[in-house]
Every structure is written in structure tokens, then in C-alpha cells.
Amino acid sequence: MTQAYLGIDIAKKSFECSLRMHGKVMHRTFGNDTEGLKEMDKWLGKHKVEQLHAGMEATNCYWEAVAQHLYKQGYQVSVVNPGRIHDYARSKLMRNKTDKLDADVISDFCATQQPLLWTPPPAEVSELQALVRHLETIKAMRNQESNRLGTALHSDQVRLSIQKHVTYLDQNITQVEDLIQEHIQHHPQMKHNCDLLKSIPGISDTTAAKLLSENIQAFTSTRELVAYAGLNPQQRESGTSLRGRPQLSKVGRAGLRRALYFPAITAMRYNPLISRFCDRLAQKGKVKMVQIGAAMRKLLCLALGVLKSQVPFDPNFSLSTQASP
């Protein structure tokens, strides 16, 4: 059975496919909708594809329907960080950038690098993820409208219109927050995991929902989870000329880092384990932002720890026994 590799460059309305098999590369563009997925199935069937490894970038949420569809068809699927694909293209000295070339790079990446396979989260996690994303979108709109109030000081009508919209968004935020809690309460294991997360000082209902929507319990180690969030330290040293300060890599889920920022600041005051940890960093001369980054990382490790152990947070319990380093 011939192994085929499919690279998919996904946009909002369409996706470009690059199929590698029998030493040849074939291209086709499909609409990013139900009809486009059916056409892709026919195209793969026409080329007698049986064993397929498909790869795509984790671009916004446009990739999800395609990945879900291919997975249900029994194919292997990899969802790759766009940074890896970008660097792989640079390593091949790619000078042009088109949808077709990007799809070629992704299919070649799958064939040569064999990236990790993707598994869709459970249905209840996918639903929670959709609700949490919707809440984040509404909150972002609310912040934008609040900022516009400062530019409408000389127009009573504009200011009144914005204030009405802000009020509507506030009501919508409350409604979606209620839906999120109802969804969590409806699933016993998810409710239990949420309670475990909230036992950690610094983690609220909102943060717990965000962590569960990211399906962090599926990670096997804190090292993997920290890298996924982009909270791992990045060294910048080379020879004798470059001695940069270590900083967060930020190669990962920016939304997860944002969700942990304010909880980490709260944990630095009220979580005894993180508070003592940050005090030691301060004594070593680490600046405030370094302390906050370390607190975010520690908080994430604690979250994975309580989910893996299924034991509520205990400040006297060693983190190293809760989850693998």
C-alpha cells in the first residue's frame, strides 16, 4: 500500500491541497465548506489514496473542520505550529510564497519530518472550546467599544450609541458565562476537573474553563504543556558576543498565556507555593516580569498536577509527584 502525504494550506473560504504519492505532486483547490470536503474525498478516491498522512497549520480555527473530516475518514492528521512550517520553508531557501507553494512545503514537511499525529478532543471539550472562544471575542469587542467612548466626547449621540452597545455586550457576556458554567455542570467529570483547578489559589471559574477548553489534561508531562503555551525559557547565547537575557519563547498558544497573566499576579499574593517561589526569584535579583512569567509557568504546572492526580491543591504537596517533569 502506497503511503501518500497531503499538505493543506487553509484560508477562510478555501484550502489548497498538495498530494505527494508515486514520486509525483498533484494540486487542487477546494472550498472550505461541506461541499469542498466532499469534492476532496472524490479527488483522493480518484487517485486511489488509501494510506494518507495529512498536514496543516494551526491557523485560527479554519483548519478544524478539515482536520475533523480527514480524521473521521481514517486518515492520519497532523496539525503543526505555523512557526515550524515557516522555518522549514526557510531551511529550503524558499524565496516565493503562494498558497500552492505553502501546500507543497507542508506535504514535504509531513513526508520528511513525520510530525506528531493529532487527535480531536472529546465532543464536550470541543463545545466548551467554542463557548470560551465566543466569550473571548465578545470581551474583545467590549474593550474596543469602551476605548471608543474616549473618542466620542464631542458627540452625545455617538456616545449614547456606544454606551448602549457596551450595555448589550455586558449582557451578552453574562449570558455566555452562564452557558459555560451550565455546560461544565452538565458533565460530571468536567465539573470535577473544574473544581480541582479552582482549588488552586489564583484560578477562577473563567481561567478553569479556559484551561479545560485547551484540553490540558491530555498532555503527558508539564514540559510538553509549558512548551505548548510558549512559557518555556528561551536562551540567547552565542560565542562571546551574544549574551542575551533568558526570556519566554512565546512559541505557543498566545491565548493561553493571556489567560494565565492576571491569575499568576493573583497567585503571587495568595498562593503560598507560588508566593514563596517568586520571593526566592526576587532575592536573586529577578525583575518583576520574570517573576510573573515564572508564576504563569508554575500555575500551569500546578493545574496539570491536580488534573493528573485528581487530588485538590495542597501547598505542602510536592509538584514533582503530581505530574512528570
CA angle 253, 31, 87 (to 5 degrees): 40
My answer on whether 20 and 103 are in the same domain is: yes
196 inside domain:
no
Band of pLDDT at residue 253, cut at 50, 70 and 90: confident
pLDDT in the model for residue 240:
52
Residue numbers of the domain that contains 287: 209-321
Q: What is the mean pLDDT of residues 187-201?
A: 96
Q: Does 283 lie in the same domain as 257?
A: yes
| Same-domain pairing of 142 and 218 | no
Candidate from 7-21, 120-134, 190-204, 248-262 with smallest mean pLDDT: 248-262
Distance CA 14, CA 10 (A): 6
**What is the per-residue pLDDT across 268-280, written as a single tens digit (0 to 9) for each?**
999 999 999 999 9
Average pLDDT over every residue of 277-295: 92
Residue 320 has a pLDDT of 44
Residues 25 and 81 in one domain: yes
Mean pLDDT of the 293-314 span: 94
In a domain, 195, yes or no: no
- What confidence category does residue 100 fall into, taking pLDDT thresholds of 50, 70 and 90? very high
| Residue at 145 is within a domain | yes
54-58, 89-93, 153-157, range with the lowest pLDDT: 153-157
93 and 151 assigned to the same domain: no
Find out whether 232 and 278 touch, Cβ atoms under 8 Å.
Answer: no
User: Which of 52, 83, 113 is at the close of a domain?
Assistant: 113
| 215 and 313 together in one domain | yes
Residue 199 falls inside a structural domain? no
Please compute Rg for the chain using Cα positions.
23
- The DSSP element (H or E) to which 19 belongs, if any, is strand 14-21
Cα distance between residue 277 and residue 294, in whole Å? 9
Least confident of 21-30, 57-66, 76-85: 57-66
Res 54: pLDDT: 97
- pLDDT classification of 118: cutoffs 50, 70, 90: very high
* Stated pTM of the model: 0.82
For residues 29 and 46, what is the distance between their CA atoms, to the nearest angstrom? 15
**pLDDT exceeds cutoff 50 at 325:** no
* Residue 232 and residue 138 share a domain: no
Cβ 43 vs Cβ 29: under 8 Å:
no
Determine, yes or no, domain membership for 59.
yes
Would 118 be classed as within a structural domain? no
Q: State what percent of residues in the chain have pLDDT above 90.
A: 70
Tell me the CATH number at 107: 3.30.420.40
| Mean pLDDT, range 236-258, rounded to an integer | 66
Please say if the pLDDT value at position 236 is more than 60: no
